[in-house]
Amino acid sequence: MNKLSTIDYIVFFVYFIIVSGYGIWIYRRKSGHDGTLEGDSKDYFLAEGSLTWWAIGSSLIASNISAEQFVGMSGSGFKMGLAIAAYEWMAALTLIVVAVFFIPVYLKNRIATMPQFLSQRYNGTVALIMALFWLALYVVVNLTAILYLGAIAVSSVSGLNLSFCMYMLAGFAVVITLGGMKVIGFTDVIQVFFLILGGLATTYLALNLVSEHYGTTGVLNGFSLLTTQAGDHFHMIFRRDNPNYLDLPGLSVLVGGMWIANLNYWGCNQYITQRALGADLPTARGGLLFAAFLKLLMPAIVVLPGIAAYVLFKSNVFSGEMMQDGAVNPDRAYPVLLNILPIGLKGLSFAALTAAVVASLAGKANSIATIFTLDIYHKLIKPGASEKQLVATGKIAVVVAMVLGVLIAPHLGIDKKGGFQFIQEYTGFFSPGIFAMFILGFFWKKTTSSAALFATLGGFVMSVGLKFLPRYADLSGLANIGFAAVSPDPADHGAYVIPFMDRMAIVFVACAAIMVLISLVENRRGVTTHGLEIDSSMFRPNRSFVLGAGVVVAMVTVLYTVFW
Q: What is the pLDDT of residues 155-183, one digit of tens each?
A: 777 777 888 888 888 888 887 777 665 66
DSSP 3-state assignment of 324? strand
| Mean pLDDT computed over 417-421 | 53
Sorted by where each starts, the structural domains of the chain and their CATH numbers stand as 6-415 (1.20.1730.10), 428-533 (no CATH)
Closest CA to 142 of 350, 472, 368: 368
Q: Please give the C-alpha separations between residue 367 and each of 256, 364, 427, in angstroms, as whole numbers.
A: 29, 5, 17
Q: Return the pLDDT at 36.
A: 42
pLDDT at 447 over 80: yes
27 in Cβ contact with 395 (< 8 Å)? no
Query: If you average pLDDT over each of 232-241, 269-278, 315-324, 542-551, which comes out highest?
Result: 542-551
Closest CA to 120 of 136, 107, 109, 134: 109
pLDDT at 479 over 70: no
Q: Return the pLDDT at 481.
A: 63
Report how far residue 338's alpha carbon sits from residue 348's, in angstroms, rounded to the nearest whole number. 10
Residue 360, amino acid: S
Q: Which of 21-30, 101-110, 352-361, 377-386 has the lowest mean pLDDT?
A: 21-30
- For residues 173, 179, 180, 183, the Cα torsion angle rounded to the nearest 10 degrees is -90
Q: Return the pLDDT at 193.
A: 77
Q: Please give the C-alpha separations between residue 115 and each of 367, 372, 382, 402, 526, in angstroms, as whole numbers.
A: 12, 10, 17, 22, 25
DSSP 3-state assignment of 188? helix
pLDDT at 124 over 90: no
What's the pTM?
Answer: 0.81
34 pLDDT band, cuts 50/70/90, is very low
Q: Return the pLDDT at 37.
A: 41
DSSP per position, 440-469: HHHH-TT--HHHHHHHHHHHHHHHHHHHHG
Q: Return the pLDDT at 143.
A: 83
| Mean pLDDT computed over 548-562 | 94
Q: Per residue in 291-340, pLDDT tens?
A: 999 999 889 988 998 898 888 888 877 766 676 666 777 777 787 887 77
Closest CA to 298 of 86, 135, 153, 470: 86
DSSP per position, 22-91: HHHHHHHHHHHHH-HHHH-HHHHHH-TTT--HHHHHHHHHHHH-SHIIIIIIHHHHHHH-GGGGHHHHHH
Q: Strand 323-324 to strand 327-328: parallel, antiparallel, or no bridges (unpaired)? A: antiparallel
Residue 324 pairs in a beta bridge with 327
Q: Per residue in 277-288, pLDDT tens?
A: 777 889 989 999
Write the CB contacts of 365 (distance below 8 Å, at least 6 apart in sequence): 143, 173, 174, 177, 398, 401, 402
Query: If you average pLDDT over each of 250-264, 368-382, 419-433, 546-560, which comes out highest?
Result: 546-560
Write the CB contacts of 381 (distance below 8 Å, at least 6 apart in sequence): none
6 pLDDT band, cuts 50/70/90, is confident
Residue 323 pairs in a beta bridge with 328
Q: Per residue in 487-544, pLDDT tens?
A: 666 666 667 778 888 888 899 999 999 999 999 999 988 888 877 777 778 888 889 9
Closest CA to 451 of 462, 461, 436: 436
Residue 497 pairs in a beta bridge with 485
Most distant CA pair in the chain, distance:
77
| Mean pLDDT computed over 425-436 | 82
Write the CB contacts of 199 (distance below 8 Å, at least 6 apart in sequence): 70, 301, 302, 349, 352
Write the CB contacts of 130 (distance below 8 Å, at least 6 apart in sequence): 114, 115, 118, 434, 456
As a whole-number percent, the residues of the chain with pLDDT over 70 amount to 84
| Mean pLDDT computed over 17-30 | 73
| Mean pLDDT computed over 399-420 | 73
Q: Return the pLDDT at 285.
A: 92
Q: Return the pLDDT at 451.
A: 92
Q: Per residue in 185-207, pLDDT tens?
A: 666 677 777 778 778 888 888 88
What does the buried/exposed string (b/e) look like for 498-529 if buried means 16 or more CB atoms within 10 Å of the residue's CB?
A: bbbbbbbbbbbebbbebbbebbeebeeeeeeb
- The backbone region for 272, taken as left when phi is positive above 0, alpha when psi lies in -120 to 50, beta otherwise, is alpha
Q: Return the pLDDT at 33.
A: 45
Mean pLDDT of the chain: 80
Q: Please give the C-alpha separations between residue 5 and each of 100, 156, 160, in angstroms, as whole numbers.
A: 48, 14, 12
- Residue, of 84 and 328, whose pLDDT is higher: 84
What are the counts of helices (DSSP H) followed by strands (DSSP E) for the chain? Answer: 28, 4
